[in-house]
Amino acid sequence: MASLFSGLDDAVEEVEYEFYDRVTLIDAGANTSQITCSRWCRDIGLDWPGDLVRGNGSLSFDHLDVTVPCCASVVPLNRLHYDWPIGFARFEVSAMNLTRAQYELDTDELARVADLLGHPVEQILAHY
């Protein structure tokens, strides 16, 4: 799996990957400071998703449709507006602690990873 990041060998401290049995939240950690409803463009707050995950018992979901607290509409979790990108996936590759000045993968690097995996990828920048 580390070959996905060839050419970045000196810039990545550790590469891990994980397969999930169910669709799992890939969060941005402390980077996320606001979540807005996609139906009414109202702030949902950060406590609600935490309560949702605790009530679910895990970060994994059988389906993404939830009733949002602002307007009681049923909205897919992946359609809410997050101020930092997050994802919902069954597979995750983590390149941790990039040590180069540019800590994001650029468009070409993301395209190379997507080509190697044979699937579109989304970059989630997390801070814990």
Q: What is the pLDDT of residues 77-121, one digit of tens each?
A: 999 999 999 999 999 988 787 777 677 888 988 898 888 889 899
Other C-beta atoms closer than 10 Å to the C-beta of 125 total: 14
Q: What is the pLDDT of residue 67?
A: 93
Other C-beta atoms closer than 10 Å to the C-beta of 46 total: 11
Closest CA to 75 of 57, 54, 47, 52: 52
pLDDT at residue 6 tops 70: no
pTM for the structure as a whole: 0.83
Phi, psi of 111 (to 5 degrees): -65, -40
The gap between the terminal CA atoms of the chain, to the nearest Å, is: 23
Q: What is the pLDDT of residue 73?
A: 92
